[in-house]
Amino acid sequence: MLVQIMQKKLKTIPEGLSITQAAEKMQKEGIGSLLVERKGVPVGILTDTAIVHKAVGVKKDLDHTKVESLMTTPLPTIQVTQTSHDALDMMGDLGIRHLVVCDGPQIVGLVSARDLLVYFGSVSEPRIGVD
């Protein structure tokens, strides 16, 4: 189940802040995504990849580009009862690296591709010898 892998302390940012402010928060927190809130309700997700591809790569003014213009919406979600393999498959199918974990309609966490790599690395059999 994803409850053992997911990040439970969710980092958020208001939709009206600039990409510069969001990137600074990501850097300070050492994370690759932020949930984007409108009036305290999560409405999207902003990732480091989106910042690079949709802003930096096309030379947008990061101080004047708002988070809401780059966020992914609706939120890509997975239920907490699903497995780590389900999360990996969903990320691959959607071409994304972050999923919001829900218990019914309520958001309870976030799982990233990095979280899955760490998990699968910890449960896989060590390789012995040289191929």
* Segment 15-41, tens digit of pLDDT: 999 999 999 999 999 999 999 999 999
Residue 67's identity, in one-letter code, is V
Nearest to 12 by CA among 88, 71, 52, 59: 71
CA distance 42 to 71: 11
3 by DSSP, 3-state: which? helix
Task: Return the domain boundaries, the chain.
Answer: 2-123
Give tens-digit pLDDT for 81-127. Answer: 999 999 999 999 999 999 999 999 999 999 999 999 999 988 877 66
CATH T-level assignment (fold) for domain 2-123 = CBS-domain (3.10.580)
